Structure 1
């Protein structure tokens, strides 16, 4: 007779492997990429129209309102990330029956905390609009209403992240990415459609607010379909609060610090220079940080995979980590080199000569920072996924005060270019600290870090050469040479034997299928010709 415990263990092992299957993870990464590609393309078209329609001051306020909303999302106390990690961990251990109570408790807490965040934003908005930010008096009233609407959406924004996290822990990326795509397009196109009727911030923000409500409702329906028993679990279970708050508390501290380092530069620009300068700084920032949609697409899938695999198979976790670093590097490097080399032309074509003169150096510097930060996000996801958010917070604290002091002096001395320099210097320190932390958590990743060090030693000078103020023809020629040589170097020095075999097999299979299709088509043609020539034809 078979042992029931042995059968259960085998079943659990198969379920865990299914959640970290390479093909499933790759397919989900593709889903993430597709869901962000359409909004990214739409942003290129709609942002210039929106700036022209509402003006740089209103657009600056619009981006600042978004940053306030993002910063106050820390009122979830880290429960969104904690929920994703704990759901993935329970799936890895075969404890699916515990999920409804866990998810219901987390979502209930997130809604309550979101309401507290709404009240906080409403209370500070008058001071922000009237005194702290240099907003022109003629648009202060509509700016205040814009902040109020952003505040009202906070509970839904916070709980939507929790709902999405539950689906991601189950590796159900297909449907949630369809929703993300539709809502993302709506949030970009909707404000532009308002412009023929009004150039005020109020209807522009109202359109975005409605989109957030619709997104929340759809995610709730999808989550209930994934966990049918969840409707009975929408109550706060006191015994589950402790584990959620313990993990989430460290995440909250990280969420307090991280926006200070990622977004405070724009507030400093607005306070020390002007809201118009915020637009000149934020616009290239928004362009180059879109590169993160590649790394975020990968890490959104790998975060729950790290949590699920680390429970029982650390060698598998190390394999995932190494490949994730490699793929993020291979994706971000050519994008960064292209952005640095062609920054003046890109800004001129997109936003005009004035923006190009003001923002070229900013874009080049920020592009390098995005490259470094995208790599640092991999060990950050690992550290959090295996349950050490306290280490993330401690590493950020080492960066915070040196960065704030550096940013203050550089912004005062060099304006928005100084802000970009300070931000990029911080990302370099971020990279070093987080890979050190990743090695402490997972010593098996030592070889990955060594390879990355050599890779950066070779590629950072190439990026620097791309920023030289040469003629367009020289820069295009340089970019062409590097891009032509890159595939050879990748094949010889970066890809492993297994990865080469996979690519070769797919290439051979693709050509084999193409040859078979041609052979079948040729046989059909010959058969038809013979039938036509036959007396019976």
Structure 2
């Protein structure tokens, strides 16, 4: 199976729920209110952080199954059974710990009105129950991705995520807006995914046979997963500290104003995840020379997929946010969204060295880099929020993305693919952002014309670096192909299959 096809499957599995998720945010805010939506956002952030209780077994399973690509089926089944049984035991313990932590957070830490506090506290048992479900999903899907079953996993994931977006909204519309009802509906959606993935793994790993738990396999998985666990502790803490600081300093409405544009723009990293997931099994088995070629291929592909859309979105963010969220929240969210677009544009490319390190058996380097950033980032974030408000928090996040990109690329030993092009594009995007922020707000026709120009320039730049095997599939006029050929700077890696 080719990297291009696997990436395409991942993209489809990402785009469908992404579009649905963005479309339903205004409905959620309208039905349950911005304060309750802010609390619901914190619920899923807490759950995401406590996903560390899988001890990295989800990613470790992917890496181990990929390594056993040519091994007998019984050996792969043994690794899978070991990971799953261990994960279920750990998930039960994590469920109890999360219950206590969520209770403390919503009863004492986050600033809430008395009625909303009581509602959030009463939902904490359900929040805790979501943890073992989430960690089980990680092992089941990770095992299938290790076998490069990307079409199957994305079909199930897209369906589950669609249900995850729609069911709570239907409950809020037809039954009530109580957080307990909303979280229960979300659990039902994730339960569907567990059932579907379980059936798929049964066909792939012989779940009808006796469980083959193996201590040697466990120790191998845990050696890898222990560093993944530390990463799972550090990375979400870095990612979500801004929300909790905003909640404690500025309140839950400010969390919504900050979180909605961040999560909306963050979805573009799903494109990077699609490419990185397709590369992961290959990175796990290839040597350095081939890994460098794969990294260059991935960077070229990401630049071609992401840059034109980001250039257009940067220009049109203000009218889009006002249309999407209304004049009040949209006007406050738009400047933040532009900063997040710059940050997540960088984040898409750092997924390549990030994946290379993890797949190559060096998740320890990822963890050490993130741990070194922790205290400086928290201090800078706190100062930025106090000094510049929500925009300060967004710029602190952007600076962290710059530091991440430099350090991860350095230690991944794959070089800095397309460094000059990346720096030139970043400088152009920063200049555009400065003009939009400091200058007078252009009229809508001017914004549309500027967006069209930015999209055209971004598309031409994308065509210059797009991998040749994908460029050949595009229905481009021959005249344009002849114009592009002398200026092409992509580096073919042969057949990426």
Same fold (TM over 0.5): yes
Partner of 1:470: 441
* Residue 392 (structure 2) pairs with residue 408 (structure 1): no
* Residue 472 (structure 2) pairs with residue 502 (structure 1): yes
Residues 146 and 205 of structure 1 are in contact (CA less than 8 Å); yes or no, is this contact kept in structure 2?
yes
Map 1:330-341 → 2, pairs under 5 A: 330-341=304-315
Partner of 1:100: 77
* Residue 165 (structure 2) pairs with residue 165 (structure 1): no
Identify which of 336, 345, 355 aligns with 1:381.
355
Partner of 2:7: 29
Map 1:178-327 → 2, pairs under 5 A: 178-194=155-171, 195-228=173-206, 230-232=207-209, 234-310=211-287, 314-327=288-301
SS of match in other structure, 1:342: helix
Q: Deviations over 1:98-139 (max 9, x none)?
A: 111111111111111111111001122322111111121112
Partner of 2:398: 424
The total of aligned residue pairs comes to: 475
Partner of 1:149: 126
Give the stretch that moved more between structures: 273-282 or 317-326: 317-326
Deviation of 1:236 after TM superposition, in Å, equals: 3.3
Give distance in 2, aligned partners of 1:504 and 1:122.
Answer: 51
Partner of 2:43: 65
Residues 337 and 466 of structure 1 are in contact (CA less than 8 Å); yes or no, is this contact kept in structure 2?
no
Give distance in 2, aligned partners of 1:205 and 1:365.
Answer: 31
TM-score (norm 1): 0.84
Deviation of 1:334 after TM superposition, in Å, equals: 2.2
Give distance in 2, aligned partners of 1:288 and 1:269.
Answer: 19
Residues 156 and 196 of structure 2 are in contact (CA less than 8 Å); yes or no, is this contact kept in structure 1?
yes
Residues 466 and 478 of structure 1 are in contact (CA less than 8 Å); yes or no, is this contact kept in structure 2?
no
TM-score (norm 2): 0.90
Q: CA RMSD in A?
A: 2.2
Deviation of 1:399 after TM superposition, in Å, equals: 1.6
Call closer, same or farther: CA 1:331–1:112 in 2, change over 3 Å. Answer: same
Q: Which has the higher helix share?
A: 1
Structure 1: runs of 5 or more not aligned: 1-20, 509-537
Give distance in 2, aligned partners of 1:276 and 1:332.
Answer: 31
Identify which of 51, 71, 82 aligns with 2:29.
51
Q: Deviations over 1:207-263 (max 9, x none)?
A: 0011112211111110111122x4435353212222111111111111111011111
Deviation of 1:27 after TM superposition, in Å, equals: 1.6
Give distance in 2, aligned partners of 1:29 and 1:290.
Answer: 16
Partner of 2:325: 351
Partner of 2:493: none
Deviation of 1:489 after TM superposition, in Å, equals: 3.8
Give distance in 1, aligned partners of 2:392 and 2:475.
Answer: 49
Deviation of 1:454 after TM superposition, in Å, equals: 5.2
Deviation of 1:417 after TM superposition, in Å, equals: 1.5
Deviation of 1:96 after TM superposition, in Å, equals: 4.1
Deviation of 1:298 after TM superposition, in Å, equals: 1.3
Partner of 1:86: 64
Partner of 1:114: 91
SS of match in other structure, 1:308: coil
Give distance in 2, aligned partners of 1:96 and 1:459.
Answer: 50
Residues 376 and 431 of structure 1 are in contact (CA less than 8 Å); yes or no, is this contact kept in structure 2?
yes
Deviation of 1:400 after TM superposition, in Å, equals: 1.4
Residues 336 and 463 of structure 1 are in contact (CA less than 8 Å); yes or no, is this contact kept in structure 2?
no
SS of match in other structure, 1:263: helix
Give distance in 2, aligned partners of 1:410 and 1:393.
Answer: 25
Q: Deviations over 1:374-396 (max 9, x none)?
A: 11111100110111001101111
Partner of 2:487: none
Deviation of 1:484 after TM superposition, in Å, equals: 2.0
Give distance in 2, aligned partners of 1:89 and 1:95.
Answer: 12
Call closer, same or farther: CA 1:446–1:215 in 2, change over 3 Å. Answer: closer
SS of match in other structure, 1:232: coil
